[in-house]
Amino acid sequence: MTPRVNQINIILHDQKHDQKRVQLDKVVIPNPFEQIEKKLTGLVGLDFIYDQMVEIYALIEINKRRQSANLKVEPQTLHMLFKGNPGTGKTTVARLLAKWFVELGVLAEQKVIEVDRADLVGEYIGQTAHKTRDLIKRAQGGVLFIDEAYSLARGGTKDFGKEAIDMLVTHMDNHQQSFVLILAGYPKQMDYFLKTNPGLRSRFPFIIEFKDYDADQLLAIAKQMVAKRDYILTKEAEFKLFHLIKKKIDLESNVNFSNGRFVRNLVEKIIRNQSIRLVKQQVYDGDILVLLTADDILT
């Protein structure tokens, strides 16, 4: 969609009080939806988040317009729940949204406090409440991201995880304008987690499912990682890497496969293999130092 151009007429008065009409015809109003697309550029396989970002932007923008028109505006709840296997981009999206919410004026600070069960749950009475309150205080103005959040509900009746859940629910209501809570974890476990507290699901207007990457997407991620490290895959290496990734996907179950994490570990292993090969060959030419070959990819 091309940017909209507004034509503005300005009346200027010269010294003789003669009116002259001057036209300014290049005042560009950015298309907000194009801006959202740009933010997703380079994030392989995460374009599905676009619809949620459009929905959030539209709600915030219309509420601003309603306030200007002295109309009633309901408080905006942006707490989210991410469901997906490891390495599917949940943390990446949380960081992207934290930055974007600051640009929209929803949050005051571009920060993501990343925690798990151990950061919330104490070992004795009173410790959980203290730890949870402290983390919520630290997250004020930003995003509190709790990975493997389902683990808060895995204990029995004497487990303090339930206390942490109850405190989070309370603060989600009392401080819904001052921070955004994002819970993340495996799909099935997160579905069970939502059932452990009757009020949980209704407090997350955005429940987003992160799909596993396919072989083409994982190869694209690997190539990005390689380029960021100033390396280049030869065509033979790229072909071999693709088939290695595809074989791994076929062998692993959905729960066991770590998606982007597997690719990151694989790229780092390939780089180490290249280092060993070059040292053995005693070849240190600049053009050779950047090349990752098929020989560096061990199957």
Instruction: Examine the domain organization and report whether 67 and 162 are in the same domain.
Output: yes
Residue 62 lies in a domain: yes
Last residue within a domain, chosen from 210, 234, 266: 210
Instruction: Examine the domain organization and report whether 241 and 277 are in the same domain.
Output: yes
The values of phi and psi at residue 203, to 5°, are -90, 0
Nearest one of 202, 190, 219, 205 to 45, comparing CA atoms: 219
Q: Are 164 and 121 in contact (CB under 8 A)?
A: yes
Instruction: Examine the domain organization and report whether 202 and 229 are in the same domain.
Output: no
Q: Looking at 32-186, list the stretches that DSSP marks H as alpha helix, in order from N- to C-terminal side.
A: 32-39, 50-68, 90-104, 117-120, 127-139, 161-174
Q: What is the pLDDT of residue 230?
A: 97
CATH number, domain of 78, equals 3.40.50.300
| Bridging pattern class, strands 143-146 and 232-233 | unpaired
Instruction: Examine the domain organization and report whether 76 and 41 are in the same domain.
Output: yes
Q: What is the pLDDT of residue 254?
A: 60
Instruction: Examine the domain organization and report whether 101 and 131 are in the same domain.
Output: yes
How many independent structural domains does the chain possess? 2
Mean pLDDT split into 10-residue runs, the chain, 299 residues: 40 45 52 86 92 93 93 90 95 94 92 94 87 93 95 78 88 83 94 86 93 95 96 97 94 77 96 97 92 94
What SS3 class is residue 258?
coil
Instruction: Examine the domain organization and report whether 45 and 163 are in the same domain.
Output: yes
CATH number, domain of 284, equals 1.10.8.60
Last residue within a domain, chosen from 154, 176, 210: 210
Residue 201 lies in a domain: yes
Q: Is 203 exposed, middle or buried (0-12, 13-18, 19+ CB in 10 A)?
A: middle
Last residue within a domain, chosen from 210, 231, 263: 210
Instruction: Examine the domain organization and report whether 114 and 195 are in the same domain.
Output: yes
Q: What is the pLDDT of residue 24?
A: 44
- The rounded distance, in Å, linking the Cα atoms of 296 and 284 is 16
Residue 61 lies in a domain: yes
Q: Are 153 and 119 in contact (CB under 8 A)?
A: no
Q: Is 148 exposed, middle or buried (0-12, 13-18, 19+ CB in 10 A)?
A: middle
Residue 105 lies in a domain: yes
Q: Is 152 left (phi over 0), alpha (psi -120 to 50) or beta?
A: alpha
Q: What is the pLDDT of residue 7?
A: 39
Helix pair 90-104, 50-68: axis angle to 10 deg: 20
Residue 3 lies in a domain: no
Residue 20 lies in a domain: no
Residue 10 lies in a domain: no
Instruction: Examine the domain organization and report whether 183 and 49 are in the same domain.
Output: yes
Give the residue carrying structure tokens 């306030």: 67
Instruction: Examine the domain organization and report whether 229 and 108 are in the same domain.
Output: no
Instruction: Examine the domain organization and report whether 191 and 270 are in the same domain.
Output: no
Please state, as a whole number, how many other Cβ atoms lie within 10 Å of the Cβ of residue 95. 15
- Domain extent at residue 84: 32-210
Q: What is the pLDDT of residue 156?
A: 65
Residue 12 lies in a domain: no
Q: What is the pLDDT of residue 17?
A: 47
Instruction: Examine the domain organization and report whether 169 and 275 are in the same domain.
Output: no
Q: What is the pLDDT of residue 20?
A: 45
Check the CA dihedral 90-95-100-105 and report its sign: positive
Instruction: Examine the domain organization and report whether 221 and 196 are in the same domain.
Output: no
